[in-house]
Structure 1
Amino acid sequence: MVEIYLFVNPLDELCLLSEKRFLEAIEKENNKVYLKLIPVLNPLIIQHYLIDNNYPTNDLTHRNQLVETIYSACLDVKAAQLQGNKMGRKFLFHLQDLVGKKKMAYSEELVDTILTKINADKETFKLDRQSKLIKDFFKIDQQVANEMGVNRFAKAVIFNYDSTRNFGVLIDAFSSSDLIKQLLKSEDTHSCRAKILKY
């Protein structure tokens, strides 16, 4: 069995591409592979995101607006995930496509449109979205990201329980398909070049 934790920006097109790459790799596997899509947000990740995208790092208004928008989208994703992983994934993909790829403005109206499109239970979503439980789940996700050393969007940690490794491997989600395939194989792969996390 393989577990993949993929840490993403819920409003980013590149993260959407990385998610699709992992899903394609998983479809070709005979082993059971569980993919967990985790929206993340913390000051270090935002700092790297601003630098990586050539945004000014000293514009506090822009930074605060960005943090607020991504935080809201993260909570939306968590609320959608409560209706099942498949529903959560559909919601995330549509959100990233419309905001990240098609450059539509993130808003409650856009979220409502996506919920309609994917046939989600809107009333349940609204109740869940306002609950303390969603914020608690979000905090747990951030703790997991911190423990795994995630400091940028689109990072993945792969635990392959069918190999002789007893630790997870942290890689960039845009790593080569060959590296991803290698880490999903049953046999041990000490030759791969990736940061290793031991638990």
Structure 2
Amino acid sequence: MIEIYLFINPLDEQSLAAEKKYLDIIKQETEKIHFRLIPVLNPRVIQNYLVANNITTHNLSYRNELFSTIYSACLDLKAVQLQGKQIGRAFLFELQKRVGGEQHVYSKELVTDILQSIDVDLDLYEADRASDLVVDFFKIDQQIAQEMNVDSFADAVIFNYRCDRDFGVLVDDNTPNEIIYQLFETDCGFEKYYGTDDDNRLHLY
């Protein structure tokens, strides 16, 4: 079995593109692949996001607002995911499309509109969204991200249990598909890519 952990920003079009890329890759595989989408948020991720998007890193007010907005969206996602993986993905994709792609402003009204469009149980969502359980699930996600050394949105960690590799491989958003396919092979042939001048795009942890 293969496991893919993809760490995402629930408001970002880049993360949506990464999700679609991995789903397309998974469709080409006959092996069972367990795919997990995990919202990630920490100061290092925010710093790298600002740098990657040529946004000043010295505006503390903007940084705090960005952090707060993404945090709220992460809790929205965790609350919806409690109603099922598929409906959670539907919510995530629509939120990323509207905010990241169509430049809608993230708001409670926007979230409610999306929830209604995909037939989420609103009463259940509201109860879950206000619960400590959702915050606890979010904290578990952040612990996973920390343990896997994730430092950017759209990073992924791939485990391949079909070979003797007893560790995951962390790849960033720029990792070519051919390397990802190498990570799925039983002979663990990815090692030929590791340790080259391009090893900044492939990490072991």
TM-score bin, normalised by smaller chain? over 0.9
What corresponds to 1:55 in structure 2?
Answer: 55
* 1:154–1:174 Cα contact (<8 Å) kept: no
Matched AA of 1:12: D
The aligned runs of 1:8-157 (5 Å cut-off) are: 8-157=8-157
TM-score w.r.t. length of structure 2: 0.93
SS in 2 for 1:158: strand
Partner of 1:191: 192
* CA-based RMSD: 0.9
Give yes or no for contact 1:18–1:174 (8 Å, CA) kept in 2: no
> By how many angstroms is 1:187 displaced?
2.8
Give the CA deviation at 1:121. Answer: 1.1
Deviation at 1:169, TM superposition (A): 0.3
Cα distance, 1:175 vs. partner? 1.4
TM-score normalised per structure 1 = 0.96
What SS does the aligned partner of 2:58 have? coil
2: CA distance, partners of 1:174 / 1:119: 35
Query: How far apart are residue 183 of structure 1 and its match?
Result: 1.1
Q: 68-77 or 186-195, which moves further after superposition?
A: 186-195
Match of 2:199 in 1: none
Provide the identity percentage. 51
CA contact (8 A) 1:157 1:171 kept: yes
**Take 1:97 and 1:186, find their aligned partners in 2: how far apart are those partners?**
36
Partner of 2:165: 165
1:30 alignment partner, SS class: coil
1:28-74 alpha-carbon deviations (Å, 9 max, x no partner): 11111011000010011111111111111111111111000000000
The count of residues paired between Structure 1 and Structure 2 equals 197
Q: Tell me the CA shift for residue 146 of structure 1.
A: 0.5
Structure 1 unaligned spans of 5+: none
